[in-house]
Every structure is written in structure tokens, then in C-alpha cells.
């Protein structure tokens, strides 16, 4: 389909965003007291091609609620703090490459092919001229086998999309930018 | 570059060795195409922090008064690739001060901070997709990518758009800046017309007499039917 306008190109987020985009850790607490669903802590670590921690990434998460729903446009009231959808969060990685979100386990997303519960990741950092996407699924979930995206990923790479439970209520997810075990990144 | 041969030339490649930080951070394996429809998620609810009018005037966030530097307004519209405006979408900006220094612990180069300038702002587009910020023109600053490397003056922009795939983080540059040809970040975009998209236009119509210089910067986000695997004509 022909388009009239050239899209604005992406540019790196650079190293100096903290005082603006990630000035409050509150953006990592996605579940509110009234949000229905199973509460989890989600710890994410980002490492580079040398295996070193990436200390200046931004991790954004977008996810469905416990029923697998996203808010419809009419429900989106950007200035209203009282919503109950978890939907979105944003944190910077620390010097050790880790960040930790508080959220809920999303529900499976219904459709022609049911998508297993997952959280969408949008990743920005110095050295990424455009952001990259990936997904976090939950190891051990019985619905992984039928997930339409995981079907497209080579079997030996699917584990890069799985968070592992490290203790009750705590999940860990590694994002490896390069090298052995490079995380599967998505074109959307 | 095998990762990027099919990517629209208006977007930078992931690996661009002239920009050294890409070398250990750009994914090397091919990206997996998400089936159509699965990336088209609704606009996020980012309402944790209510937006107030003062958020879009960066000259009024000071400790004791107004910042030093060339006062400017930057205004424009957020559109999709068919030219339709995107209403009520969040824009966040951040920038260095007029001396080229960020109020950031990791920016320690020898230029002064300004107690009257923080350098971060937010606003939402109106029903016509319009936005406007008041700020001061940022200075160029050195970085260590290569010998005698200087970033052209720029303002960082973050835009959500209508859904997951319109998400955009970019930088706005200034017309005539002599540093642009030497900047591997800007030159990481293969297509010259796409690079021009990132250069604001000086506009006398937006310039306020005895007050501020006006720049126009329109932002075009990917539309819902974008096809990243096809080259654009």
C-alpha cells in the first residue's frame, strides 16, 4: 500500500534519559491494589554481547489484564490514575543490568489461535538506533505449546522467551542482546 | 547487516559500526516477524503521572528564574503515514541545556549546569494532533565515540501513538547544524529524505516578536498497515 509520508526515523534513546523518562520508580508498579490477578515480581536483566550488564537500558512492558484483555480506546483516560488495567510500565536497568517490576500474571489472549499468557517488551538503550521488541512467557505454562508466535520460533531458541520462577511469586527473565542464547527479538 | 536488509530504508539499521555502542548491543540473529494483528495492541494507559500545563514549558521549571539560552518554541503535529492526525497521544522530551550539559549524573563534561533548567517536558497532542513546547535551544556536546566527536544540538522525543507498533523514540535536529554530517547516530539512517524528517524547520510564523524563535517539527508514526518487509518506493 502506497503511503504518502515518510515515517519519522527512530534514533537512540541515548544514555541521559533518566531525569526525564524514568524519574520515578512508580512506573514499575503496574498493578494497583484494586487490580484483579495474581501478583508477581518480575525481575529482568539485560546483558550485552560480551555478557556484561547493560546499565542504561529502558524496559517498557505492555500487557493484558488477568482476563487477557487490553483497555479499549474509550476506556483510556491518560490523566486518570484510578484505572485498574496493569497494561504498561517502564523502568531503567541499574548498574547490574537488573530492573524489577510489580505486576500481575496476564490472562491468555483469545482469538483464532489462543496466545499463551505473555508480556510484551519494548527495549531502548544507548547503542540501539531503534528499539527492539520481545515477549516474556511463563515457563511451565500448559498453553505454551499452542501459542502462535512460539510456533514460529526455532525450538532451540524458545527458552529465551521464558521467564523462570526463582521463588514463590518472583519470576526472572534474561535479555541477551547477542551471543550464545541471544534473546529472540520480534519485528512487528 | 543481514538482520536489516529487508527493513524499510527510512529506519536506521541495528548494527551501525560507526556508532560504536551498536557493536555489542545490536541483535545479530534475524528478527522473528510477529503475525499480522498480534502487534496491534491498544494505546497504553500511562496515567501514573497526571500531565499538567506547566509540563510543556521547560523555561519555568527553574529554581530561581528563567534559564540562560535562546528561548524557542517547538511545535508540530503527530500524523500517521496517511497524514491523519493522532489526537491525545503523549509526547515526552528531554535535552541538554544551552551550554550542552545534561542534568544527569553521567554527564560530567566541562560545561556549566544551569540551576534554572532541568530539560524535561511532557504534553499531549490535541484533537488535530498538535503539540507545542517552550524551551531553550540545546547546545552541542562532546562524546567519546571517536576522536573529537560532537553531537549536533538535538532534542530527544518519545511518542506513543495509537498502539504498540507506533511507539517511537527519536531526536530532533536544527536546520543548518554543521555537525550533522559527522554524526554517526543521525547518519545511521540510510535514506537522506528520512534524515531530513528529523530536522526541524525554522518558521517565522511560529516566532514570537521580542520573545522566542519558532521551529516546526512534525512527527510521522507508522500506520496500522505498515509493511516493514517491503522497500518503500
pLDDT digits (tens, 9 = 90+) for A94-143: 999 999 999 999 999 988 889 999 999 999 999 999 999 999 999 999 99
Query: Which residue is catalytic, options B16, B154, B195, B222?
Result: B154
Q: Is the pTM of this model over 0.95?
A: no
At A137, give phi and psi (nearest 5°): -105, 175
Q: What whole-number distance in Å separates Cα of residue B25 and Cα of residue B89?
A: 30
Provide CB contacts within 8 A for A103, sequence distance 6+. A30, A31, A39, A40, A42, A61, A63, A86, A89, A119
Q: Is the pLDDT of residue B21 over 90?
A: yes
- Determine whether the interchain pair A20/B119 forms a contact, defined as Cβ–Cβ distance below 8 Å: yes
Model-level ipTM above the cut of 0.85: yes
**Average pLDDT, stretch B47-55?**
78
Residues of B in contact with A128 (CB under 8 A): 14, 22, 25-26
Beta strands (DSSP E) in B40-117 are: 71-80, 90-95
Which of B57-61, B151-155, B227-231 shows the lowest per-residue confidence on average (mean pLDDT)? B227-231
- Known catalytic residue at B19: no
Cα–Cα distance between A96 and A101 in angstroms, integer?
15
pLDDT score at A168: 97
pLDDT band at A188 (very low <50, low <70, confident <90, very high): confident
**pLDDT of A2 higher than 60:** no
- Known active-site residue B7: no
Q: What is the C-alpha to C-alpha distance for residues B90 and B122, in angstroms, rounded to an integer?
A: 7
Q: Are A18 and A92 in contact (CB under 8 A)?
A: yes
Question: What residues of chain A lie within 8 A of the CB of B169, using their CB?
Answer: 10-13, 124, 131
pLDDT exceeds 90 at position B93? yes
**Whether pLDDT at B232 is above 50:** no
Amino acid at each position: 500500500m502506497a503511503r504518502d509520508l515518510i515515517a519519522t526515523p527512530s534514533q537512540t534513546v541515548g544514555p541521559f534519559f533518566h531525569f526525564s523518562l524514568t524519574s520515578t520508580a512508580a512506573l514499575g508498579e503496574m498493578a494497583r491494589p484494586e487490580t484483579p490477578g495474581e501478583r508477581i515480581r518480575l525481575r529482568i536483566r539485560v546483558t550485552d554481547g560480551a555478557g556484561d550488564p547493560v546499565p542504561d537500558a529502558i524496559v517498557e512492558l505492555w500487557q493484558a489484564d488477568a482476563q487477557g484483555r487490553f483497555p479499549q480506546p474509550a476506556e483510556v483516560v491518560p490523566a486518570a490514575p484510578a484505572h485498574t488495567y496493569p497494561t504498561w510500565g517502564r523502568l531503567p536497568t541499574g548498574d547490574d543490568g537488573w530492573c524489577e517490576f510489580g505486576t500481575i500474571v496476564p490472562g491468555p489472549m483469545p482469538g483464532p489461535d489462543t496466545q499463551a499468557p505473555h508480556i510484551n517488551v519494548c527495549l531502548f538503550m544507548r547503542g540501539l538506533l531503534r528499539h527492539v521488541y520481545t515477549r516474556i512467557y511463563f515457563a511451565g505454562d500448559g498453553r505454551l505449546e499452542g501459542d502462535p508466535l512460539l510456533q514460529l520460533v526455532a525450538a532451540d531458541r524458545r527458552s529465551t522467551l521464558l521467564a523462570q520462577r526463582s521463588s514463590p511469586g518472583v519470576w526472572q527473565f534474561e535479555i541477551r542482546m547477542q551471543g550464545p542464547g541471544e534473546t529472540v527479538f520480534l519485528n512487528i | 547487516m543481514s538482520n536489516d536488509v529487508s527493513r524499510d530504508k527510512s529506519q536506521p539499521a541495528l548494527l551501525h559500526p560507526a556508532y560504536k555502542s551498536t557493536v555489542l548491543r545490536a541483535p545479530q540473529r534475524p528478527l522473528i516477524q510477529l503475525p499480522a494483528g498480534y502487534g496491534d495492541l491498544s494505546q497504553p494507559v500511562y496515567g501514573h503521572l497526571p500531565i499538567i500545563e506547566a509540563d510543556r514549558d521547560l523555561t519555568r521549571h527553574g529554581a530561581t528564574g528563567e534559564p540562560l539560552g535562546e528561548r524557542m518554541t517547538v511545535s508540530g503535529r503527530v500524523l500517521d503515514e496517511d497524514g491523519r492526525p493522532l489526537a491525545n497521544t503523549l509526547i515526552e522530551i528531554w535535552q541538554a541545556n544551552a551550554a550542552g550539559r545534561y542534568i544527569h549524573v553521567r554527564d560530567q563534561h566541562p560545561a556549566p549546569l544551569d540551576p534554572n533548567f532541568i530539560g524535561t517536558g511532557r504534553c499531549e497532542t490535541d484533537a488535530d494532533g498538535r503539540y507545542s513546547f517552550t524551551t531553550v535551544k540545546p547546545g552541542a556536546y562532546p562524546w567519546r565515540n571517536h576522536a573529537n566527536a560532537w553531537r549536533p544540538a538535538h532534542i530527544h522525543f518519545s511518542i506513543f501513538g495509537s498502539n504498540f507498533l507506533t511507539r517511537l523514540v527519536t531526536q530532533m535536529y536544527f536546520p543548518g547544524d554543521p555537525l550533522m554530517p559527522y554524526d554517526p547516530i543521525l547518519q545511521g539512517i540510510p535514506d537522506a529524505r528520512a534524515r531530513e524528517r528529523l530536522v526541524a524547520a525554522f518558521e517565522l510564523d511560529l516566532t514570537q516578536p521580542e520573545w522566542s524563535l519558532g521551529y516546526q517539527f512534525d512527527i510521522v508514526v507508522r500506520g496500522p498497515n505498515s509493511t516493514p518487509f517491503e522497500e518503500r518506493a
